[in-house]
Amino acid sequence: MSRPSFHDLSPEQQAQFGNGLGPYWLPDRARAWITSTASWFFEEASWRHHDFGYYVGGDRWDRARCDWKFLVAMARDALTQKTLWFPVAVPLALVLSVAFYLAVRIGGQFGSFEYRDTYATLDEILTSLP
């Protein structure tokens, strides 16, 4: 079975996927604040894409790959900051990239990632969403 891709979703489904930055147990208000604040630094690094990877599931290597791709996307965004406060924005965004990466590496193992023998199908993913 091939692994579903985030790009298999329609643009509308992509825009509505995921719960923002933060674990499922974090209050919605706190997760919304973290997500909106992080959006100042990360334009293309999609936590929606990362959440999709967690729903698809797999083994520990799938999770590691998903987290690594998230870090690379955040670092790419951090290095392409185009703001008036550029000298401060890039280092701050890089620090946040590493912090978010460590958070998903540590916290993602506690109920967020779907460890499974086979990948979830696109239909399974879409029907399990709230």
pLDDT in tens, the chain (130 residues): 688 999 999 888 888 788 778 877 888 898 889 888 887 778 767 788 898 999 999 999 999 999 999 999 999 888 887 766 667 788 888 998 999 899 999 988 888 889 999 999 999 988 876 6
How confident is the model at residue 85, as a pLDDT?
A: 66
Q: Measure Cα distances from 83 to 7, 35, 90, 91, 120 in Å.
A: 29, 19, 9, 13, 40
Q: Ramachandran region of residue 106, left (φ > 0), alpha (ψ -120 to 50) or beta?
A: alpha
State the pTM of this model.
0.85
Where along the chain do its domains lie? 6-128
